[in-house]
Amino acid sequence: METLTRTIFLPIILVMDAWIFQYLMSVYYGKRRDMRVCMLLFASFLVFAAQLYSHEDIEMLTSMNDISETCLQLTFVTQITIIGRAVSVKVKVRSIVYLTHVAEVFVFLNWLTVIACEVFVFLNWLTVIACVFDAAGIITGNGFQIFGNVLESVSLVFVLVFRFYYLSISIGFRALVAERKAEFLVYVLLVFHELPFAILESCTGISWEFVQAIANRVLMVACILLNVRIKTRGTRSSYTVKSAKESTPPLKPSHRVYLKTLVAKATSSREGPASPDIPKLRVISGRSSTVLVDTNSTM
């Protein structure tokens, strides 16, 4: 069973890991001088590089898969760190934009989130080093594997909470519930993706690690594709508005004069007839007085 799962699922895992590395490289290559982006790209490289040098020994293969999964989790947490720091920099101009106590609370929460992200990144890198030592036979035992599994679960829950907390601030809670149901469902499935396979392993006595690895990659790729779809939709709508503005021809001078004339006529029709000037008023008042005098004299 283990040989069959390795033969079927390991090439698929390798292809998905390589695709994730290419996607992150295409997105973050322009910011490669940032230290956190370098960590992100290096971790995404280790995701599939660890699978390239897998050994036929099942213990070595399992250790390499642990390195790959830990680095895959590290890419998510590092992206959250980059987003959190960018949000904190923008919200820090609170004296101009918000000037309320709510803004202070949001700034405080964002800084706490950034600090928590840094802690999770540090712990994940410790887990990667521990997995490397375990694969090399320097350190043995199940303690690091248990620590890595617990850290992976806690980190996934943290990614879920941070992402949708950030989206609720950005687009509002109602819009989040109305527009991001599918994304929320995929992230929840990603958080609990190990649970059904742990139940299957306890019931059947067979290791489902590589099937679980496929499920992990599929859900992460689904999260990435949903984000790409949302970004593409926003870019397409903004491009449509921009192209519509650019396609409208500018008005010629004659058209502008005609438009001003129409506006003047419409304004005058709304305000009523124009008031006569002062000389005309004098003539009319003189005639009216003459008529009145003549009428009185005839009586």
Profile the chain (299 residues) by mean pLDDT over runs of 10 residues: 73 88 89 85 85 69 77 80 68 46 50 54 65 61 62 79 81 84 90 87 83 88 85 63 54 48 54 43 40 40
Domain of 263?
253-294
Residue 226: partners with Cβ closer than 8 Å, 6 or more residues away: 182, 183, 186
Q: Is residue 238 part of a domain?
A: no
Q: Is residue 242 part of a domain?
A: no
Q: Is 218 in the same domain as 273? A: no
Q: Is 215 in the same domain as 267? A: no
Q: Is 142 in the same domain as 220? A: yes
Q: Is residue 155 part of a domain?
A: yes
Q: Is 213 in the same domain as 277? A: no
For the chain, the first-to-last Cα distance in angstroms comes to 128
What distance in Å separates the CA atoms of residue 46 and residue 31, rounded to the nearest whole number? Answer: 19
According to the model, what pLDDT value does residue 281 have? 38
Q: Is residue 42 part of a domain?
A: yes
Residue 60, amino acid: M
Domain end (from 200, 233, 266): 233
Q: Is residue 130 part of a domain?
A: yes
Q: Is 282 in the same domain as 222? A: no
Q: Is 226 in the same domain as 270? A: no
Q: Is 148 in the same domain as 276? A: no
Q: Is residue 140 part of a domain?
A: yes
According to the model, what pLDDT value does residue 119 have? 62
Q: Is residue 112 part of a domain?
A: yes
The total domain count for the chain is 2
Q: Is 159 in the same domain as 271? A: no
According to the model, what pLDDT value does residue 35 have? 83
Q: Is 197 in the same domain as 288? A: no
Q: Rounded to 5 degrees, what angle do the CA atoms 198, 200, 206 make?
A: 95
According to the model, what pLDDT value does residue 189 have? 92
What distance in Å separates the CA atoms of residue 52 and residue 55, rounded to the nearest whole number? Answer: 9
According to the model, what pLDDT value does residue 261 have? 59
* Contact (CB, 8 A) for 115 and 81: no
Q: Is 229 in the same domain as 260? A: no
Q: Is 129 in the same domain as 49? A: yes
Q: Which segments of the chain does DSSP mark as H helices, in order?
A: 2-28, 35-52, 58-91, 94-97, 101-136, 143-171, 173-179, 181-191, 194-204, 209-247, 253-271, 278-298
Tokens 């309320």 correspond to what residue? 100
Q: Describe the crossing of helices 194-204 and 143-171 by its angle, rounded to 10 degrees.
A: 150
Residue 104, amino acid: E
Q: Is residue 67 part of a domain?
A: yes
Q: Is 263 in the same domain as 227? A: no
According to the model, what pLDDT value does residue 2 have? 66
